Amino acid sequence: MIVVRTVSDLRAALRGRRGGSIGLVPTMGALHEGHATLLRAARSADDTVVMTIFVNPAQFNEQSDLAAYPRTEDADLALAEAEGVDVVFAPDASEVYPDGFATTVSVSGPIAETLEGAERGRAHFDGVATVVTKLLLAALPDHAYFGAKDAQQVAVIRRFVADLGIPVTLVVCPTSRDADGLARSSRNTRLSPDERARALAIPRALTAVTDAAAAGVRRSDALRERALDVLAEALIQLEYVAFVDPETFAPVSSVDRPTLVAIAARVGATRLIDNAVIPPVPPTTGGA
C-alpha cells in the first residue's frame, strides 16, 4: 500500500494503473466498519482501490465540531491495508486549499438548501461539492463509493457530477448498521452508554414509518406522527423528520412514489442523521 500526500504524487502512483479500473473511496478518516464495507465494494469491483483521508474544514459549520472530529491516521492506514487498499491519499489542508484558492462548486435548489443545507448552513454542501470535485479530478477514478446514510450528500454529488460532466460512476452502498440497528458513524464514539441507548430511537422511528407505510398509511404527515411518537420517548433534540423525493429533495405529501424519510437529531452533544427509502404504497392498499 502506498501513502501519498500530494496530488502530483497521487497521479504518479496511478499513472501505471490506468489500464484497469480505479475505485475511489473518499473518507474523513476515523474509519469504522461502515467505511470497510465501501472499501470491500471497491475491492471487489476495481483493479485499483484509492482511499482518501481528509478532514475537510470547508464543510464544518461549527468549529467545535471540526476540532472534535477524531484524527486516527495510524489506525485508519492499518484498516485500509487490511482491506486491500492500493493507494491512500492523505493531503494536508494546504494541498487541497493552497494560498489564493478562490473557487467554490455550488449546487442550488432544494437538493442543497433544505434539511442538512438549512441546518448546517449553505456553506456545508458548498464545501462537500468543492472537495469531492477536487478529489475526483485528482484521482480520475472510474467509480466513486459513498454510503446511503448521507443521502442528501449523495444527491448533491450526483447533481454536480452530472452537471459538470465528470466521467465517474457513483456507487451508493447500503447504510452500514451495528447489530442494535444504529447507523455506523464516527460520531457514535462520542455517545455515552445512556445516549447510545436513546439514539436507538432513530432507527426505531424509521422502522415505525416504513412499517406504517407498508400497512397502507400514505400521508407523510400521518407517517411523521408515527416517527415523532417513537422519538419523543427517547428525549432527544429533534431537528427534523422530513419526507422528500430521493433525487430532488422536494417535499413529498404522499408516499405514492419512492420517498426518502430523513431524520436528524442531537443526542446529548452528538448530532446524528439517518434515513430510509419508503417504496410506493400500491393504490389498492388504502390507508390513512
Return binding residues for beta-alanine. 59
What are the binding residues for (R)-pantoate?
A: 59, 153
Find the catalytic residue in 10, 13, 23, 35.
Answer: 35
**Count of CA atoms in the C-beta half-sphere (13 A) of 241:** 23
Q: Which residue has the cell 484498516?
A: 79
What are the binding residues?
A: 28-35, 59, 147-150, 153, 184-187
Rounded to whole angstroms, the Cα distance separating 246 from 278 reads 10
> Which DSSP string do the residues of 224-276 spell out, in sequence order?
HHHHHHHHHHTT-EEEEEEEE-TTT--B-SB-SS-EEEEEEEEETTEEEEEEE
DSSP 57: G
What are the binding residues for ATP?
A: 28-35, 147-150, 184-187
Rounded to whole angstroms, the Cα distance separating 144 from 131 reads 14
143 classed as catalytic: no
The SS3 of residue 280 is coil
Residue positions annotated with a catalytic role: 35
